[in-house]
Structure 1
């Protein structure tokens, strides 16, 4: 039997907060469900909301039973009082929902049967209250002392739902601003209220208190219950019947026999947390001979590791300084009042000239001479991609209902590094457009085959790819990037998505009239326009609008859905 981990009080008092941040990605997926988007836009059909209210009543009844079980299990008198208050709040919520139902004067809600999403969560919660928990032997909960742990487990299965709805309420509250007639104002304000936030905090506080004495393994069980509850809450939102058109996910209306989804993306800092040039330089420095060390005959003469590091630091410093100077020069002219693609294109030609000069300096410096191809591939395989990136592309590939092409447009000096980073099942469909090293017997000569060095090279490659696509299908293009080098491709794509935009991208974009809109509010606005029958709800290239996101999870939910 494994020894229990020693956990201090400081580590346990915030188990609720720890779990929320650990599994918050699910809350983003919940935000991007068609049900929530339609609710935020005010276009949700009243019948759908009535169905939601009816299903939520089953939830609340299960919560009431959960509190009853937790009260029975705990030997903490304060907890008994606090949890009793929580149960009273649930009963008040049920009464409020009954009032809403009476105002709608509809008996459809009363006749509404449980849907699969409701059944899965309520069954999960009721199983938890009875002690049927994965990783816990029911027999171990027989003693009064052991049963006190069950109260914490029950709250671990209940707290996520309350916190999730408080989060959704606050996220949707912004859409009530200036809206005097939003049909779901009351619902959104309820979940966004200080009272509901207080309810979430109280439940989290009791979970923290009841978890203080738990071992590490027992806290792991709470984490698993919390994660499962979050997934089931997401499933509940996805299970709501939506008999209306939704602008997301965009794959929903995709017809593979007539359409092609073409996804372009940048590699460095969009998919990775570290720039590939730094990785390649580090490989060169580590594998270089030490100062005074004799180099084997018949091998390329290389700089010592010390000289290499010094040279690389000088090159990096020069690049950073001149890059900022180049950006400042591009922004010297008058700021555009409206989106001006032609002026932007002309300005980025200056950046293109700078990037090519910088690459030439690198080639001539000798820092990339003698890199072993196998070392590069191993480094690529070990690269840590941004959370959700790899999963997104795997999901694209596995989706049999999508006709999709995937293209990387990257300044990376060595395409082999990119290909090895995506070697786990993605390589067969991933098209890499990058620069390449020249190798002699698996050792780089230091020369770069320059294919994609600049913003102009990127947009030319982008256009060439689309021109080479067969004309029998309509293309819907998406580009994901994060730097100024991506701007032209982002704007030429039907949908340009900026992931954690760099300061240079926003500075240049703003100067030439580009608008940056967070993706979720942009989707909600599109939903409003679509519901009104306005044709402008379609995604169009060269609109001058780019959509910002903070994670690949948002991109995944937007394109593929939240499953």
Structure 2
């Protein structure tokens, strides 16, 4: 099936915000995500439970390192409100990992894949995230962690219009289409615009490259779950 993207009103002609520039750069990636059989399978209920189980386990592995990345962003954030917000997001990522593992694995009827090791794509994605937040600027790190916020929000918003006949998949869709999560994402996008407005052209270009790279990793993460990726040797 085809998932229609939500109607988006035209952006103002001037000025072009940094977030608008970032999103424009990944529109083909986002379109590929919406068309991926993992995502379409969530909506029509045909996604194999084994693929969803792989996703849940790998996402719990991912979120542990994502929380570490958010903690570094918190330490480098420009003001106290941003420090508190990112610190809260880091705590929330760990809580989400624990809740997701228990709720979704129970919904899958057990924990057959509970002990599955970190898969290649998960390892590559989290390694890139941590290297960027530790080795780059605040804007670099912000751009690297942003796709996990923003793409999930946009996917959740798009899928919420269709929902799913499967109650487990409906619950996943509702979590990311929820207004509470959408508000968090708007806050991070607004911070990205503020940080981008203060950066040089070269700094914005480097941040955009990180944003595009981790957006591609988002597609790869869903694709790895669809293929139930394991280490080849």
Deviations along 1:400-439, whole A, 9 cap, x unmatched? xxxxxxxxxxxxxxxxxxxxxxxxxxxxxxxxxxxxxxxx
Paired position in structure 1 for 2:5: none
Paired position in structure 2 for 1:16: 19
Whether the 8 Å contact between 2:121 and 2:224 is mirrored in structure 1 is yes
TM-score normalised per structure 1: 0.36
The answer to whether the aligner puts 1:165 opposite 2:152 as a matched pair is: yes
Q: CA deviation at 1:73?
A: 2.2
* CA root-mean-square deviation: 2.2
Q: CA deviation at 1:21?
A: 2.5
Aligned equivalents of 2:169, 2:153: Cα separation in 1? 16
The answer to whether the aligner puts 1:175 opposite 2:162 as a matched pair is: yes
Q: CA deviation at 1:102?
A: 4.2
Aligned equivalents of 2:204, 2:222: Cα separation in 1? 27
Paired position in structure 2 for 1:122: 126
Whether the 8 Å contact between 2:70 and 2:87 is mirrored in structure 1 is yes
Paired position in structure 1 for 2:9: none
Q: CA deviation at 1:104?
A: 4.0
Return the structure number with greater relative CO, CA threshold 8 A, min gap 6: 2
Paired position in structure 2 for 1:31: 34
Whether the 8 Å contact between 1:71 and 1:151 is mirrored in structure 2 is no
Among residues 58, 69, 72, which one is paired with 1:69 in the alignment? 72
Higher strand share: 1
Paired position in structure 1 for 2:138: 151
Aligned equivalents of 1:102, 1:49: Cα separation in 2? 12
Paired position in structure 1 for 2:206: 221
1:409-420 correspondence runs (5 A): none
Aligned equivalents of 1:82, 1:122: Cα separation in 2? 21
Aligned equivalents of 1:198, 1:61: Cα separation in 2? 22
The answer to whether the aligner puts 1:237 opposite 2:204 as a matched pair is: no
1:216-365 correspondence runs (5 A): 216-242=201-227
Q: CA deviation at 1:103?
A: 4.8
The answer to whether the aligner puts 1:94 opposite 2:94 as a matched pair is: no
Whether the 8 Å contact between 1:35 and 1:242 is mirrored in structure 2 is no
Aligned equivalents of 2:15, 2:139: Cα separation in 1? 16
Please state whether the residue corresponding to 1:199 is helix, strand or coil: helix
Structure with the greater alpha carbon radius of gyration: 1
Number of residue pairs matched by the alignment = 214
Deviations along 1:136-174, whole A, 9 cap, x unmatched? xxxxxxxxxxxxxx2221110011122111111122223
Q: CA deviation at 1:206?
A: 2.3
Among residues 84, 107, 110, which one is paired with 1:81 in the alignment? 84
C-alpha distance 31-222 of structure 1, shift in aligned 2 (>3 A): same
- Is there any run of 5+ residues in structure 1 with no aligned partner, and where? 1-9, 134-149, 244-563
Higher helix share: 2
TM-score normalised per structure 2: 0.83
The list of structure 1 runs, each at least 4 consecutive aligned residues, that deviate by more than 6 angstroms after superposition, is none
Aligned equivalents of 2:38, 2:178: Cα separation in 1? 21
The answer to whether the aligner puts 1:209 opposite 2:194 as a matched pair is: yes
Aligned equivalents of 2:81, 2:176: Cα separation in 1? 27
